[in-house]
Amino acid sequence: MKTIRNIMVAVFCGLLFTPAVFAGDDKDEGMFSFFKRHKGVEVVSNKTYTENCGECHFAYQPGLLPRRSWQALMTPARLEDHFGENAELEDADRKAILEFLSSHAADDSSYKRSIKIRKSLKEGQTPLRISEVPYIRRKHHELGRREIEDNKDVRFAGNCAACHRKAEKGIYDEDSVSIPNYPDWED
C-alpha cells in the first residue's frame, strides 16, 4: 500500500514539474497555471469583432453562447435581418468574426460561467439570444418587466452592461450587479 502511494506521489510530482507547466499557456502564464480556475467568461480580444459588432451593441463574450448559436447568428441572411436591424458585413470580416466567436464559444471554454452555460443546454439546442440560454434565464428569473423593459436605463434583457458593472471584463457575479433606478434591489 505504501509503495502504491509513493508511486502516485512520484507520478504527480513528475507531472507537476514538467516543462509544459513552467511554460504556461495562452490563458495563463507561469507555473501552476493549470490549477487556476477561470471565473466568468473569457474577455473579448478581437478588434474586428469589437469594432463591427460593438459599434451597435455590447460586444458579447463568445463564451455566452455555444458555437452552433454563433454560426447561426453569423450567416449572411441572419445579419441582413439581425433582430430587426441590418448588420451585414464584408464577407472577410464576417468570416473572421465567425472564426473568433466559434473558437472562443462556450463549447470548449474553461471559464466557470461558460461551463455552466454549456451544461444548461440540451443537445442541439441553439439559442439565438443570450437571454434564451437556460442558465441565464435561471439567473434572471426574479427580474420582471419593471426592472428591464420599463427601466429607461436597461430596456432589454440583452443590455448586460447596464446592470453587470464588470461585464466588459467577463465578470457577471451577483456582487457586481446594480440595477439602474432600483438602488435597493436585491436578489
- Asked whether residue 187 is domain-assigned, the answer is no
Backbone angles phi, psi at 41, to 5 degrees: -130, 155
Pick from 122, 107, 121, 125: nearest CA to 62: 107
42 is a domain residue: no
What is the per-residue pLDDT across 121-161, written as a single tens digit (0 to 9) for each?
999 999 999 999 999 999 999 999 999 999 999 999 999 99
Q: What is the pTM of this model?
A: 0.78
For residue 66 the three cell numbers come to 455555444
> Same structural domain for residues 103 and 131?
yes
Q: What are phi and psi of 144, to 5 degrees?
A: -115, -175
The pLDDT-based confidence of 38 (bands split at 50, 70, 90) is confident
Residues 104, 29 within the same domain: no
What is the rounded average pLDDT of the residues 97-110?
97
Model confidence at 20, in pLDDT bands (50, 70, 90)? Answer: very low
Separation between Cα atoms, residue 162 and residue 7, nearest integer Å: 54
Identify the residue whose cell numbers are 439581425: 82
Please tell me the predicted confidence (pLDDT) of residue 27.
40
Residues 25 and 99 in one domain: no
Q: Are residues 97 and 19 in the same domain?
A: no
Residue 28 and residue 59 in one domain: no
Are 24 and 51 found together in one domain? Answer: no
Cα–Cα distance measured from residue 8 to residue 135, given in angstroms and rounded to the nearest whole number: 38
Residue 53 and residue 31 share a domain: no
Residues 90 and 110 in one domain: yes
Judge whether residue 23 has pLDDT over 90: no
- What is the C-alpha to C-alpha distance for residues 48 and 85, in angstroms, rounded to an integer? 19
CB 98 within 8 A of CB 74: yes
Q: Which of 6-15, 51-60, 151-160 has the lowest mean pLDDT?
A: 6-15
How many domains are contained in the chain? 2
Domain that holds residue 68: 47-176
